[in-house]
Structure 1
Amino acid sequence: MSTLPWRRIVLIAVAVVCLAGAVFAVRGPLLMAAPACLAGRWHGCLSTENGVVLMTLVGVPVAVLVAWPLALRRRAAGVRSAWRMSLAEVGMAYGTVPWVWLTLMPGSGAGVVPGRLSLVPLVDLVSMGPIGIGGNLLVFAALGFFAPIRFTALASTPRILALGAACSTLVETAQYVFQLDRVSSVDDVLLNATGAALAALASRRWWRTDPAR
């Protein structure tokens, strides 16, 4: 009997435990945002970081249900790896949009404070702290993880690194152009791209490398 299913079960169990532990660690801030979100006060919910994180967690089952009909449709059409492709598409979108929303969330001086640039590499890393660095690594991690699974043309770490850098540059440019009271930093681009590349390496065994599929 193959040990592969048991390995998958163990990996899934570890992932669930890690996710549950993360949710438990931030349960206080999330519960603070819960009244506004549950009451449908979307401005008070989705305009806060806690509210966005809470709604993202709550919407995970919905994202899985969205992948279900996509996979069934592909299976009916005779597409191989229908579930993997469908989950990759949903994972790319659902795992990236909330992070981009957070990075484009305006500050208190939005529209008043001029855009600020920080173009010297590694200068801002000191002031970010572990949470800031970790958050930047996760912004395009879902994109880096799922994109090479879905698209053969992106099944390459350098390409995912370039994709993460390009997407991050667009976000930082938007922060500056729309005067969102945020610092557009080259260190953010470096961390975002690095996070995408590391996530791509984590999913390498599932990359879609056969163009004929």
Structure 2
Amino acid sequence: MNHETTLSVPPSPGRVRRFLGPGLAVGVLAAVLVVLRGPLMMAAPACVAGRWQGCFGTFNGVVLMTLVLLPVALLVAWVLARRRRAAGVPDAWRISLAEVGMVHGTLPFLWMTLMPGGEVGVAPPRVSLVPLRDLVTMGPLGIGGNLLVLASLGFFAPMRWAAVATLPRILALGAGCSVLIETAQYVFRLDRVSSVDDVLVNAAGAVLAGLASRRLWRTRSAHTAAIRAAA
């Protein structure tokens, strides 16, 4: 009587890594949704009722609409990638996801940073140029929020443009964009403090996000260099 022994083949490291990334992303997204469930449910009635001031005029409403529009953003990335693949563009999916990710992940935070305060147009512009003075008053929530303002830009920009794919350039990009945001807050007198600490934390968030995507943008840079060398 023959007995066949079935040998289980362990998954390859590449296959494990391929599933580990999406799994971690889903886990992080689920954790964020659990934390934000209460605030999002507070904003949901205003959005459903069409009270757009309560929907787009509050932080909770902007976060809710960002999550609601995420499938639309993914659909736009899919359409762009399909068109680019049909045209023979290399890295069509990566380029398309990077472009949509930058816009979808940055515009909501930009909108929130430019929301007017209670005395908009009345309170005089305020500037804080002493480094680290405002950092101690931000608190964990303020620091976390400032780290996220340009995180999508830092994550996706080096994937889209090889010229940005170095940490010093990501730092310069983040700092420059943050300076523009703080300048807009000052010029439009939005009843906000234009702080150098906001610039420092925003730029740090962009660099940290760039580090998180470093494997992707390094691959993108090498591929672009190879194309240029072959041309």
The interval holding the TM-score normalised by the smaller chain is: over 0.9
Provide the residue aligned with 1:71 in structure 2: 81
**Within the alignment, does 1:88 sit opposite 2:127 as a pair?**
no
Which structure 1 residue ranges, 5 or more long, are not aligned?
Answer: none
The amino acid that maps onto 2:75 is L
**How far did residue 56 of structure 1 move?**
0.5
**Within the alignment, does 1:131 sit opposite 2:141 as a pair?**
yes
**Within the alignment, does 1:53 sit opposite 2:63 as a pair?**
yes
**How far did residue 38 of structure 1 move?**
1.4
**Within the alignment, does 1:32 sit opposite 2:42 as a pair?**
yes
Runs of 4 or more, structure 1, over 3 Å off, are none
**Within the alignment, does 1:119 sit opposite 2:120 as a pair?**
no
Task: State the TM-score, normalizing by the size of structure 2.
Answer: 0.90
The amino acid that maps onto 1:91 is G
**How far did residue 23 of structure 1 move?**
1.1
**How far did residue 9 of structure 1 move?**
1.2
The amino acid that maps onto 2:59 is E
**How far did residue 5 of structure 1 move?**
2.8
Identity of aligned residues (%): 68
Which deviates more, 136-145 or 17-26? 17-26
Provide the residue aligned with 1:201 in structure 2: 211
Which deviates more, 96-105 or 11-20? 11-20
**How far did residue 10 of structure 1 move?**
1.8
Provide the residue aligned with 2:195 in structure 1: 185
Provide the residue aligned with 2:15 in structure 1: 5
Higher Cα Rg, which structure: 2
Task: State the TM-score, normalizing by the size of structure 1.
Answer: 0.97
Task: Say what the alpha-carbon RMSD is for the aligned residues.
Answer: 1.1
Which structure 2 residue ranges, 5 or more long, are not aligned?
Answer: 1-10
CA distance in 1, matches of 2:214, 2:173: 16
The amino acid that maps onto 2:43 is A
**Within the alignment, does 1:97 sit opposite 2:144 as a pair?**
no
Matches within 5 A, 1:7-22: 7-22=17-32
Count of residue pairs the alignment pairs up: 213
**How far did residue 139 of structure 1 move?**
0.4
The amino acid that maps onto 1:108 is G
CA distance in 1, matches of 2:34, 2:97: 26
CA distance in 1, matches of 2:86, 2:97: 16
Provide the residue aligned with 2:117 in structure 1: 107
